[in-house]
Structure 1
């Protein structure tokens, strides 16, 4: 029997479903009889409760359950017969005027759109490349040395210098009045590392042990403390301790402390270069993937199913609530989270998801098992026991599905870059690492 599908608006469709009342009632009776064999009620032995009482107690809920099941089956059967790709769940309402012995329902729903992808050969994409420089390796070693530095007190007559750790007391006033957060005792910071405002560091630099100084400090207009932003305070600072930093030498001892297998300086450089290269590759891949996704979004024409967008918005809101709860916030379920703030991102995700699905289907870009395995091994390579990480991924289908999605996106990226007008640009290491 042909299914009559009515187009309401863009992706919205309607199907009218009819079901024989007898079929529904027969299923209700069958479920009630099955229920009667195990239901327990005071005054009756199990399985001996009269059907009239079982029907009175459970008839409505069973009727509701059967109606939902039968209407759902009828809907998906009709949708399959009409070759419809249904997006989201249908809205089903009972309809008046059904023939005698029948019950009718209207099912309103959305279908997935036809995705038209333009000529990718005309897409212009900038493809990034980057290398790990010797300077980047040396800077990383310096960072590691700083993380392992020690401090020793300077001579009493020595002035505080760049890189020294100072211990101070300070008290600030605005218009002669103390303000919240403007006072501290035995406060430590390292000069030149940006923990304090530049004007504060400049005032302390050059001071000696036991010396006090009063100086003005103008808070920036965009300062995070709104009560003092844009205002000028007078600070009294007293230096209580000055300590010089001592960095460890770049030697075998440092290499061993950092877990370098052969414990050599050459091995330290090699390990750092390898780790930086892995990070560079990850960032270049992410940047190029983003450029490809932007190009696809610009070249594709499609309508977005409202139900799919709303489902993604709901998922993002729930994720935000879970994040807030993990941060220790209470009653996050009652916290109002504006959905509109997530809608643009949700629309982009749905749009790209539909575009990628179409491109994967038409260009046969599915993730192959050997690609998934290679990706898992690459993810595991940075861990101390990579074989355990590999087992971790293969032990859970959801984790493996996440990797498959990564591979699929990589396949799409390579496919599009092979078709588009690509301009290669070599990024400076610092430029690449400074990007989010």
Structure 2
């Protein structure tokens, strides 16, 4: 991408950019994938996303549908080319048609992030709870582990009741053809849990261990044309035994049999404890760093542009909507649960300002203390963003998408926050003083 930079009024620049044919193709492809994910379109071998979208949604030109988001993805590439950090995300101004196989020209007017200052750079003073690792979480994890190894063993014989688990053998046929996926020589089944159609449960309830029954039940199916149909299934079923859950006791003997990589239970506990304490320490450090950032925010000086508030608020709302959607929660209901539109809006505004102010305060510390970034600092920021992913891959994703400047900003703020914590005056709540002795009653004092 070719980018020319021109100064405008103080604090603003204009970028004149020309995206290459490959860059246009790359952002269109990424926009196609994002569209498919948002619409729940499943990839099909040998077909492009555009072909799948046309087949299932009747979209003739997917490029035109995703054009706006594809153009938006080019803006960070232009910013990163000039190592510019905007105060808020700028919009592209197209200067040529946006088409696959062609270069694309656009301008971007950027409001630069100001160099805000703090009223003081002296060490901050914070009061935080002292760190304590609760060994009970190790016991809880071992208990969860034992549940994952739960097995089913024979229970006292009795007729099958709703909620009972039982070992069954069965053969199922549809129009004389055996259904291999349903047939089994031995499988644990829990009656009345909805794992099979109601007709199946109605037939199995009341059966005795050792009893065999032939019956027919109906179930949902899909024909060759992917139409929903009702299947009629003939079944011969034998209840072999009533079963109950057996949760193992995690002890040295169980460890030797199931986890020979550990010497004994004590070694397993020690390993679990180390991992949990490391995670717990990271959370505690985040808690302390947040306390420090909050105090630094109180020293912030300057005026933040309305556009920065709006961009941050919109980003918060977008992320929140995505999280609620993943949890299957309704946005309107969530707003009402949090006090209604007015109260929720006020809470969102306060959160937006807090995040902006703390970020700018950390920028000021990084600049004032003349801190510098290393690869380890950037990798640490990547780890915080996604602890489960390879930091190098996260970094590569940021840089390839032109968001290297955003990654560097996050790493700088994180380093400034940690530096401020290392130099902070950290106090812990004092223990409650012993109760003072009660004053003697007037009659006693007179005596």
Instruction: Answer whether TM exceeds 0.5 for this pair.
Output: no
TM-score by length of 2: 0.42
TM-score by length of 1: 0.43
Larger radius of gyration: 1
